[in-house]
Amino acid sequence: MSMSLNRIGTLHGVSLGPGDPGLITRRAWALLERADTAWVYPARSTRTPSYAFDIVARAGLVPPDDHQSLLFPMTHDGDKLARAWLRAAEVVWPKLRAGQDVLFLVEGDASTYATFGHLARTLRALAQANGVELPVEVVAGVNAFTAACATQGLPLCEQDDTVALVPAAYGVSAIDRLLADFDTLVLLKVKPLIGELLDWLERRELLGHASFVERCGAPDEQVADTPEALRALRERKVSYLSLMIVRSPHRVRGERIRGCLKKSSPGVAS
C-alpha cells in the first residue's frame, strides 16, 4: 500500500571541500544558511568527531536545531556497511517523509569516494517502497587532490597528461603497474601503506617527484614534499585524511591523435 504525501523533502549532498571553509561553494553556503533544514553528517565512531561538521563549524555557520551525526564504520565488510547505511537511512527517512529538506554534509566532493552515494541509494529504495520518488541534489565540491595541487603549486595534469586516481589499498604492485600509462598518480587513503609506499618510491627513485599532503586545508595541515620530509613520515603516525601525488617523469607515451575534425575531401561539401 503506497502512502499519500503532500510533499517529500529533498536530500541534498552538500560538498564542503577538503577542509578550508573558503572552498565551500556559494550553492553549498546558501543551503547551509537555511534554518528550515536538518543536517546529518558522517562520523567513524561515537568517539571520533565528524570532520565534515568541523569544516562548517570553522566557517562560523550555525547548525539548525535538528542536526546529528550518522555512524559509518571504517570497514570493508559489505554486510556491516549495508547495515550501517540502512540504519542511517532509517534516521533520515522520517525527516524527508515529513517534508523536511535534509543536508548530508560531505568533506571533499559528494561524488568522489563519499558515503553520500550509498545513503542516497538506500533512501531512494525506501522512498520507492513507500510509493514516492525521492528528490536528490548533489552539490559539487572541491576535491582534496585538486586543492593539494593548488596549495603546492603543482599542475595535476597539463596538455594531454594522463591521471590515475587510486585508493592505495590496491597495493604497491598494482600502483607500480600504472607508472607505464599515467603521468600523475593520485594515491588516496595512504595511511595503512605509508611504509610500503615510501619503500616503493625509494626503489623507483621517485622521492623527488612525490608530495604527501595530510588534512588538506585544515588548520593542522601537514605537507611533505622533499625526500627528507617524506622519509621522516616513517617516524610518525599519519592521518586517515592523507594523500600522495606522484609524478612519473620517465613515462614513454604512445601515438596520440592530434586532431578531432575530419578534413573534407576535395569537391565534397562539409
pLDDT digits (tens, 9 = 90+) for 42-55: 988 777 889 999 99
- pTM of the prediction? 0.86
The mean pLDDT value for 114-124 works out to 92
Average pLDDT, the chain: 90
**Cell 612525490 belongs to residue:** 210
The enclosing domain of 150 has a CATH number of 3.30.950.10
Residue ending a domain, choose from 71, 104, 139: 139
Q: Are residues 79 and 185 in the same domain?
A: no
Q: What are the tens digits of pLDDT across the range 56-112?
A: 999 999 999 999 999 886 666 677 777 888 898 999 999 999 999 999 999 999 999
One domain, residues 35 and 104: yes
Instruction: Indicate the range of 12-21, 119-128, 245-254 predicted with least confidence.
Output: 245-254
Q: In sequence order, what E strands does the chain have?
A: 11-15, 38-43, 67-71, 102-106, 136-139, 163-167, 184-188, 210-214, 222-224, 242-247
Give the whole-angstrom CA distance, residue 36 versus residue 268: 62
DSSP 199: H
> How much of the chain exceeds pLDDT 70, in percent?
90
CB 103 within 8 Å of CB 31: yes
Residue 23 lies in a domain: yes
User: What is the predicted pLDDT for the residue at 261?
Assistant: 55
Count of CB atoms situated within 10 Å of the CB of 187: 25
Count of domains for the chain: 2
**pLDDT at residue 253, rounded to an integer:** 74
Residue 3: per-residue pLDDT: 41
* One-character DSSP codes across 157-183: --TT--EEEEEGGG-HHHHHHHTTT-S
Range of the domain at 124: 11-139
Domain check: are 83 and 61 in the same one?
Answer: yes
Task: Name which residue leads in pLDDT, 104 or 169.
Answer: 104
* Shared domain check, 230 and 166: yes
